[in-house]
Amino acid sequence: MNTDNHFEGTGRKEGYWSEVAHEKLKRFEERISTLEIHISDENSGAKHGATDKKCTIEARVSGYSQLSASCKSDNIEKAISGALDKLKSVLEHALDKAKTH
Protein backbone atom coordinates (compact mmCIF):
# COMPACT_ATOMS: atom_id res chain seq x y z
CA MET A 1 0.00 0.00 0.00
CA ASN A 2 1.41 3.34 -1.04
CA THR A 3 0.31 6.47 0.78
CA ASP A 4 1.05 10.16 0.50
CA ASN A 5 2.43 12.01 3.52
CA HIS A 6 -1.09 12.72 4.85
CA PHE A 7 -1.85 9.09 5.68
CA GLU A 8 -0.13 6.71 8.00
CA GLY A 9 0.19 3.32 6.33
CA THR A 10 0.44 1.12 9.40
CA GLY A 11 0.97 -2.61 9.08
CA ARG A 12 -2.38 -3.32 10.72
CA LYS A 13 -4.29 -1.19 8.20
CA GLU A 14 -2.30 -2.60 5.30
CA GLY A 15 -3.02 -6.13 6.47
CA TYR A 16 -6.73 -5.41 6.74
CA TRP A 17 -6.97 -3.88 3.26
CA SER A 18 -4.86 -6.68 1.78
CA GLU A 19 -7.40 -9.17 3.17
CA VAL A 20 -10.32 -7.13 1.82
CA ALA A 21 -8.66 -6.89 -1.62
CA HIS A 22 -7.89 -10.62 -1.62
CA GLU A 23 -11.50 -11.47 -0.77
CA LYS A 24 -13.05 -9.11 -3.35
CA LEU A 25 -10.67 -10.17 -6.12
CA LYS A 26 -10.40 -13.86 -5.17
CA ARG A 27 -11.83 -14.99 -8.49
CA PHE A 28 -8.85 -13.44 -10.29
CA GLU A 29 -6.04 -14.35 -7.88
CA GLU A 30 -4.39 -16.76 -10.33
CA ARG A 31 -4.30 -14.08 -13.04
CA ILE A 32 -3.11 -11.10 -10.96
CA SER A 33 0.65 -11.03 -10.49
CA THR A 34 0.86 -7.67 -8.69
CA LEU A 35 -1.67 -5.44 -6.98
CA GLU A 36 -0.76 -1.91 -5.86
CA ILE A 37 -3.01 0.32 -3.78
CA HIS A 38 -2.29 4.06 -3.78
CA ILE A 39 -4.14 6.37 -1.40
CA SER A 40 -3.94 10.13 -1.17
CA ASP A 41 -5.61 13.20 0.29
CA GLU A 42 -6.08 15.56 -2.62
CA ASN A 43 -6.70 18.54 -0.35
CA SER A 44 -3.43 17.98 1.54
CA GLY A 45 -5.11 17.46 4.89
CA ALA A 46 -5.43 21.24 5.42
CA LYS A 47 -8.78 21.53 3.67
CA HIS A 48 -11.68 19.16 3.76
CA GLY A 49 -13.85 18.35 0.81
CA ALA A 50 -16.70 16.04 -0.03
CA THR A 51 -14.48 13.81 -2.14
CA ASP A 52 -10.93 14.64 -1.18
CA LYS A 53 -9.72 11.08 -0.42
CA LYS A 54 -8.61 9.11 -3.46
CA CYS A 55 -7.67 5.49 -3.98
CA THR A 56 -6.17 4.12 -7.17
CA ILE A 57 -5.58 0.39 -7.52
CA GLU A 58 -3.36 -1.04 -10.24
CA ALA A 59 -3.40 -4.71 -11.19
CA ARG A 60 -0.83 -6.48 -13.33
CA VAL A 61 -2.58 -9.32 -15.14
CA SER A 62 -0.78 -11.83 -17.34
CA GLY A 63 -1.52 -11.16 -21.00
CA TYR A 64 -2.75 -7.59 -20.40
CA SER A 65 -1.31 -4.18 -19.91
CA GLN A 66 -1.88 -2.73 -16.47
CA LEU A 67 -5.53 -2.53 -15.44
CA SER A 68 -6.59 0.08 -12.90
CA ALA A 69 -9.50 1.75 -11.20
CA SER A 70 -9.87 4.70 -8.86
CA CYS A 71 -12.47 6.16 -6.55
CA LYS A 72 -12.81 9.41 -4.61
CA SER A 73 -14.81 9.72 -1.41
CA ASP A 74 -15.14 11.64 1.83
CA ASN A 75 -13.18 8.94 3.70
CA ILE A 76 -10.43 6.56 2.73
CA GLU A 77 -12.35 3.39 3.62
CA LYS A 78 -15.08 4.24 1.12
CA ALA A 79 -12.49 5.23 -1.48
CA ILE A 80 -10.61 1.92 -1.17
CA SER A 81 -13.79 -0.14 -1.18
CA GLY A 82 -15.13 1.76 -4.19
CA ALA A 83 -11.87 1.35 -6.11
CA LEU A 84 -11.86 -2.39 -5.38
CA ASP A 85 -15.44 -2.71 -6.64
CA LYS A 86 -14.53 -0.80 -9.81
CA LEU A 87 -11.39 -2.88 -10.38
CA LYS A 88 -13.40 -6.07 -9.97
CA SER A 89 -15.74 -4.81 -12.70
CA VAL A 90 -12.80 -3.90 -14.96
CA LEU A 91 -11.28 -7.36 -14.48
CA GLU A 92 -14.60 -9.10 -15.12
CA HIS A 93 -15.11 -7.13 -18.31
CA ALA A 94 -11.56 -7.65 -19.62
CA LEU A 95 -11.24 -11.33 -18.75
CA ASP A 96 -14.79 -12.35 -19.66
CA LYS A 97 -14.45 -10.50 -22.97
CA ALA A 98 -11.24 -12.44 -23.67
CA LYS A 99 -13.09 -15.72 -23.13
CA THR A 100 -15.60 -14.90 -25.87
CA HIS A 101 -12.92 -14.06 -28.47
Long-range contacts of 42-50 (CB under 8 A, 24+ apart): 42/72, 44/6, 45/6, 49/74, 50/74
What pTM did the predictor assign?
Answer: 0.82
Q: Taking the chain (101 residues) in consecutive chunks of 10 residues, what is each chunk's mean pLDDT? A: 62 80 92 91 67 90 91 92 96 81 54
Please give the pLDDT value at position 24: 93
Give the Cα separation of 92 and 78 in Å (integer).
21
Give the Cα separation of 66 and 17 in Å (integer).
20
Please give the pLDDT value at position 43: 76
Exposed (0-12), middle (13-18) or buried (19+): which is 94, by Cβ within 10 Å? Answer: middle
Task: Output phi, psi for 7, to 5 deg.
Answer: -125, 145
Please give the pLDDT value at position 64: 84
Please give the pLDDT value at position 62: 85
Please give the pLDDT value at position 60: 94
In contact, 52 and 80? CB cutoff 8 Å: no
Please give the pLDDT value at position 46: 60
